[in-house]
Chain A
């Protein structure tokens, strides 16, 4: 992998990083949103 990056593969590395970022954002956004709602509902229930 390091060889791939060093041998003029900056473009490929950039696209890989971008893909990971896009996947992570799409994965984390709904999780955070859902957990926030669940937490607030649980807080209301306990108080």
Chain B
């Protein structure tokens, strides 16, 4: 147990180092990219072309293979931002601030994808693009929090102050996550309750569920790849004048 704790401590300290992260991410990226691409292709082809049609919605329900994974990663990214915000505020770990800066645009884009794909799905099935339903509104609030983080960061010249400010905002916004999750249970919403359940039997047919799970896994892998790439780009922006980075660029690493 002590050895595990020591290993976690060592990993935590290494994670605070830009050169270490830049080097380890260059090794992780090719493997993660291949896995993400494979899972995405398999999940999307399985879901769109080989899963059965829905008895009521027909083929339009296949939007689920993009809408649900996008909504899932959008919320998970924000949860990760809130944890990073806490780490930055308490321990001033510079990588946590960088993580928030790099991941916020990715989270915003997936939240937008979830909202727009939901609207496109809602039009033929609900008869409307948008309603001020609790699930939709709380997801819109999530997008606004992402945009606020991006905007707040760019309003500072000093990176340390920017990291501090967005860390606090990321933590404050985390209050919205349980609201999104529970919105379909707490309020009478047009949006259906969750179909995938961890502790009970899912209300979706297994023939539709398995490709959906593959798509969800693919989106998480994609976000991992995009996250690594965005963090590397942000490290480059912050460290471009440092010798270690110049050395890597000259050696074409």
A interface list, Cβ under 8 A from B: 1, 4, 7, 9, 11-12, 14-16, 18-19, 22-23, 25-27, 29-31, 33-34, 37-38, 40-42, 45
Contacts and interface: CB of A to CB of B under 8 A. Distances in A.
A39 to B, nearest CB: 9
B78 interface: no
Interface of A is mostly: helix
B222 A23 contact: yes
- Nearest 6 pairs of A and B residues by beta carbon: A30-B233, A30-B229, A33-B233, A34-B233, A37-B236, A15-B117
Nearest to A9: B59
B113 interface: yes
B34 to A, nearest CB: 14
Interface of B is mostly: helix
10 contacts: A9-B59, A9-B60, A11-B63, A15-B63, A18-B66, A18-B120, A27-B229, A31-B229, A41-B245, A41-B246
Contacts of A26: 105-106, 109, 226, 230
B109 A11 contact: no
Nearest to A41: B249
B236 A11 contact: no
A33 B106 CA distance: 15
Interface in B95-143: 102, 105-106, 109-110, 112-113, 116-117, 120-121, 123-124
B175 interface: no
B39 to A, nearest CB: 13
